[in-house]
Amino acid sequence: MGFGNSKKKRQSLQKEQKKNQKIQNQIEIETKKQKKELKILILGTGESGKSTFIKQMMIIHKGGFTNSDLVEYKKTIKTNLILHTKILFEACVNFNWEIKSQTKAYEKRNKFQLPDTANYFLDKIDKIMENDYQPSDTDVLFCRIPTTGVSQLTFDQGENSWTVIDVGGQRSERRKWIHQFEDVQLLIYIVALSEYNQKLFEDLDVNRLRESFGLFSKISNNDFFENKNCVVFFNKVDLFEEKIKKEDLKQCFPDYKGGFDFEAGKKFIKRKFLDEAENSTRNIFCHFTCATDTKNVERVIDAVNITVIEHVLKEDGLL
């Protein structure tokens, strides 16, 4: 008889648990419905760091990468490493440098198309080539996969739901941007600060930062973006800080007079971009970022959510 009572208690408890779970699921569904949904478009030239920001959102808001993701990234990282090594060897031959002088070649990487992430992986070459190598989150952030087409990620950010859309930044990909403008409430434009002495992969006669500057100018004066709020991420600030100690910003902007001063360089570039959009009716918010630094990105995104997003929601009548 005691056994029968125990069985009934278990059955009753199971029913209660199922009921509670059903209620909890319904609460979560209703909560999601009540969240303010925001559509955000990330723009910028190739290799500015757009995809790295998307990967950071995966780490911060989605718990990181799945095992199947890591298997694919492992392949890509090894491919990246082989490509970086090949580019360095070819540069040594073309510029008559000693093959053993990897450091010298890397320091002159602005003369050829070597990704910023090359040194990170070359320093880890022994570990990466081990059979049991498993990519870390940081490895994935530094992994380079050119964006083609359109990708998007939806996640909760505080009381809001963000849908972030990433499109390829190379010239051949930009024609696809026009199809993503509908219903966009916020633009995030990413500038690679450190590329002021580098040339485009697509056109070796064009300076990368000048290309980004020109593209921002076009966007600022494009009717499709009229009255759209914009956040500018001046990215790769860590690389910029190291580079400006040796490379004068004047080679990109002849009117720059700040010399090798890091803060002067930052302020000058920010002012240049803001001046280009001074006739725009949109609100422009600026942040200096390092997309491979998860804590930095998290702080910046929190700031964007608190200040910019509230501004957007008020304009849309959602607050």
| Nearest Cα residue to 144 out of 114, 189, 108, 124 | 114
Count the neighbouring beta carbons within 10 Å of the beta carbon of residue 25. 10
What are the residue numbers of the active site? 47, 52, 144, 166, 170
Q: Are 107 and 70 in contact (CB under 8 A)?
A: no
Torsional class of 47: left (φ above 0), alpha (ψ -120 to 50), beta (otherwise): left
Q: Are 297 and 246 in contact (CB under 8 A)?
A: no
Q: Which residues are annotated as a binding site for GTP?
A: 47-52, 141-147, 166-170, 235-238, 291
The alpha helices in the chain, defined as continuous H runs, are 2-34, 50-61, 67-94, 102-107, 118-122, 125-128, 137-142, 208-220, 237-243, 262-276, 294-303, 309-315
Q: Which residues are annotated as a binding site for Mg(2+)?
A: 51, 147
**Any idea of the CA torsion for 44, 46, 48, 51, to the nearest 10 degrees?**
90
Q: Which residues are annotated as a binding site?
A: 47-52, 141-147, 166-170, 235-238, 291
| CA 204 vs CA 23, 147, 198, 208, 298: distances in Å | 60, 20, 9, 9, 35
